[in-house]
């Protein structure tokens, strides 16, 4: 259905209520075309770039939601990943053929250095190749085009650059010509900025609506993002603190006073008291 210069569709939001969503007609056509292509045993790959806060993740949700309109597959928070490990686990599932998968903050595994050298990058590359016949649509978000690996650039069906006009979000450029995507990438990697300016998008200054809080609760999304993007160092520190706290509670349960425990652990008595209160409350 047409709504002004947009294509309008109706989908159920995460609350089960009808929601009208609008899309740029060119973007609508590209996603529809990718759906038809995927039915012939191919996956689809869309790369999204843009500055922090300009709406990469928001537009990625809109694209995955649009894809669900064609596939009749539900797009929700279970289909959002933030690490190579989560990506592998999700793509290994048997019940997600044709599923749209958003890889947000895809700096792990999808970048040039990771893809070429690290075990995570090599594993990520292998999964994408192996899972081709599952006909997934992968939508990945990273700040800069040159941060993606060359392997992904060559496989990309569409590159979208999200941008703001002043303080107003909701604009993007689209490039679906694969040679343009590759040439732009190489020019950026080689710092040939005179060439960068000569490679124009196939469709410039398109607009998109705000797709937040439609496919899932945004607070739940943020919580998952915070949990899943913790560094290994942070995780190790939290585990160490958890083991320490259990050790402290064990000593207190054996009859030692808070001061005695503080003397043994080197912590302040007030810290021991707070740990006890926290563990009791939990």
Is the domain spanning 232-281 CATH 1.10.1740? The answer is: no
Closest CA to 97 of 80, 121, 72, 122: 72
Q: What is the pLDDT of residue 230?
A: 65
- Listed as ranges, residues in the chain with pLDDT below 50 are 115-116
Q: What is the pLDDT of residue 102?
A: 95
| Per-residue tokens: 243 | 């083991």
Residue 77 CA to residue 70 CA, distance in Å, equals 19
What separation in angstroms does the CA of 8 have from each of 19, 183, 252? 10, 34, 63
Q: Look up the pTM and report it.
A: 0.78
Find out whether 82 and 152 touch, Cβ atoms under 8 Å. Answer: no
Q: What is the pLDDT of residue 119?
A: 59
Q: What is the pLDDT of residues 265-275, one digit of tens each?
A: 888 888 889 88
Q: What is the pLDDT of residues 102-134, one digit of tens each?
A: 998 766 555 555 544 555 556 666 666 667 778
Closest CA to 127 of 157, 85, 71: 85
- Going from N- to C-terminal start, the domains of the chain cover 2-228, 232-281
Find out whether 101 and 79 touch, Cβ atoms under 8 Å. Answer: yes
Residue 147 CA to residue 205 CA, distance in Å, equals 23
Q: What is the pLDDT of residue 123?
A: 62
**Backbone φ, ψ for residue 223 (5° rounding):** -65, -45
Which is it for strands 80-81 and 100-103: parallel, antiparallel or unpaired? parallel
Q: Which CATH architecture has domain 2-228?
A: 3-Layer(aba) Sandwich (3.40)
Question: Count of residues for the chain?
Answer: 282
């Amino acid at each position: 259905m047409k709504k002004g210069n947009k294509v309008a569709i109706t989908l159920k939001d995460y609350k089960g209520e009808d929601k009208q969503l609008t899309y740029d007609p060119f973007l609508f056509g590209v996603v529809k075309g990718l759906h038809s292509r995927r039915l012939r045993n191919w996956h689809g790959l869309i790369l999204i770039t843009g500055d922090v806060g300009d709406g990469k993740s928001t537009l990625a949700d809109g694209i995955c939601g649009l894809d669900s309109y064609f596939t009749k597959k539900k797009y929700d928070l279970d289909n959002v990943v933030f690490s190579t490990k989560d990506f592998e686990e999700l793509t290994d599932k048997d019940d997600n053929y044709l599923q749209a998968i958003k890889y947000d903050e895809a700096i792990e595994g999808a970048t040039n250095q990771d893809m070429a050298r690290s075990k995570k990058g090599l594993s990520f590359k292998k999964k994408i190749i192996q899972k081709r016949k599952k006909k997934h649509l992968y939508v990945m978000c990273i700040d800069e085009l040159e941060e993606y690996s060359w392997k992904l650039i060559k496989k990309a069906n569409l590159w979208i650059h999200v941008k703001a006009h002043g303080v107003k979000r909701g604009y993007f450029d689209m490039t679906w010509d694969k040679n343009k995507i590759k040439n732009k990438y190489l020019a950026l990697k080689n710092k040939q900025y005179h060439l960068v300016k000569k490679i124009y998008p196939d469709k410039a200054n398109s607009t998109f609506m705000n797709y937040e809080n439609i496919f899932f609760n945004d607070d739940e999304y943020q919580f998952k993002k915070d949990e899943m993007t913790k560094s290994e160092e942070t995780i190790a520190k939290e585990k160490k603190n958890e083991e320490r706290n259990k050790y402290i509670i064990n000593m207190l349960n054996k009859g030692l006073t808070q001061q005695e425990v503080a003397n043994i652990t080197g912590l302040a008595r007030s810290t021991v008291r707070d740990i006890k209160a926290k563990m009791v409350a939990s």
